[in-house]
């Protein structure tokens, strides 16, 4: 999101369906700042979808940063009217990060299974624009972004490689809980392989999700 916010032709919107998700959440995970999120956004997902499709965001292109598990209790036909990019990440990295903020995490809370299903649905319908792996992006930001921009149909600009440190106006009210690392950054950090030791319950989720991630990785730029 921060990268595309530097593009002169792109507006970015941070997780517009988060409040809708919280209204329909079926898991017991407690999201920090829940009431603030609900107060900050439209809670009706259908109204949010209508706004995404019809509102003027002031730029030729709009990037809606979504979480796959937020696409709940909705008619997903609206995705046919968008270009769809799946951003994927190693399940252990996701669970390590998520588990530091949210307790009682389940596979449904991190959306990897939903993302795998969405991948096959979009691919079958010819509506999948690209798959981007976070590790590959860090290994070659300019190369991956150039290919991604070409797939979307916009010109790549090196300005996408850097951004000012600190919060952005587009940040959701949940940023204080989730965005400390990106607020401290001024660009893509060099890729460093890491180990992600997990407690047993998260390790079990990671092992179950790993084959799903491997399938998505095969399609990544």
Give dist(CA 47, CA 103) in Å, integer: 30
Residue 85, helix vs strand vs coil: strand
Mean pLDDT of 1-24: 98
Residue 95: predicted pLDDT: 98
Work out the pLDDT band at 142, boundaries 50, 70, 90: very high
What ranges do the domains of the chain cover? 4-218
Q: 85 forms bridges with which residues in the sheet?
A: 130
Mean pLDDT of 155-160: 98
Please state, rounded to an integer, the average pLDDT across all residues of the chain.
97
pLDDT at res. 131: 98
**Are the CB atoms for 95 and 105 separated by under 8 Å?**
yes
Residue 96: its pLDDT value, please?
Answer: 97
Task: Give yes or no for a contact between 3 and 145, defined as CB atoms under 8 angstroms apart.
Answer: yes
- Could you read off the pLDDT of 170-215 as tens digits, one per residue? 999 999 999 999 999 999 999 999 999 999 999 999 999 999 999 9
3-class secondary structure, 57: coil
Please report how many Cα atoms fall inside a 13 Å half-sphere around the Cα of residue 46, on the Cβ side: 3
pLDDT of residue 76: 97
**pLDDT over 70 percentage in the chain:** 100
Instruction: Give me the mean pLDDT over the 142-167 stretch.
Output: 98
Tell me 7's DSSP state.
S
Q: How far apart are CA 21 and CA 39, in angstroms?
A: 13
Q: What is the pLDDT of residues 31-87, one digit of tens each?
A: 999 999 999 999 999 999 999 999 999 999 999 999 999 999 999 999 999 999 999
CA–CA separation, 191 and 189 (whole Å): 6
pTM here is 0.97
Torsion, Cα of 95, 117, 77, 123 (10° steps)? 120
pLDDT for 125 equals: 97
Query: Which CATH architecture group holds 4-218?
Result: 3-Layer(aba) Sandwich (3.40)
Q: Helix 112-125 vs helix 200-218: angle between axes, to the nearest 10 degrees?
A: 20
What is the rounded average pLDDT of the residues 19-39? 98
Neighbouring residues of 212: CB distance < 8 A, sequence distance ≥ 6 = 91, 112, 113, 115, 116
State residue 52's pLDDT score.
Answer: 98
């Amino acid at each position: 999101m921060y990268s595309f916010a530097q593009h002169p032709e792109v507006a970015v919107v941070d997780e517009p369906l988060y409040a809708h998700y919280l209204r329909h959440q079926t898991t017991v995970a407690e999201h920090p700042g829940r009431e603030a999120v609900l107060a900050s956004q439209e809670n009706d997902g259908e109204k949010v979808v209508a706004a995404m499709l019809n509102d003027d965001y002031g730029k030729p292109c709009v990037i809606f940063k979504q979480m796959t598990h937020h696409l709940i209790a909705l008619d997903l036909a609206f995705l046919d009217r968008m270009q769809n990019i799946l951003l994927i990440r190693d399940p252990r990295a996701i669970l390590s990060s998520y588990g530091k903020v949210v307790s009682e995490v389940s596979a449904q809370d991190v959306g990897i299974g939903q993302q795998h299903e969405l991948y096959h649905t979009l691919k079958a319908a010819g509506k999948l624009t690209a798959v981007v792996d976070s590790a590959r992006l860090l290994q070659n930001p300019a190369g991956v972004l150039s290919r991604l921009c070409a797939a979307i149909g916009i010109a790549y600009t090196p300005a996408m490689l850097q951004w000012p440190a600190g919060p952005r106006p587009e940040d959701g009210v949940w940023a204080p809980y989730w965005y400390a690392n990106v607020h401290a950054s001024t660009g893509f950090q060099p890729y460093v392989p890491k180990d992600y030791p997990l407690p047993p319950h998260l390790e079990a989720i990671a092992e179950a999700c790993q084959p799903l991630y491997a399938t998505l990785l095969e399609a990544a730029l």
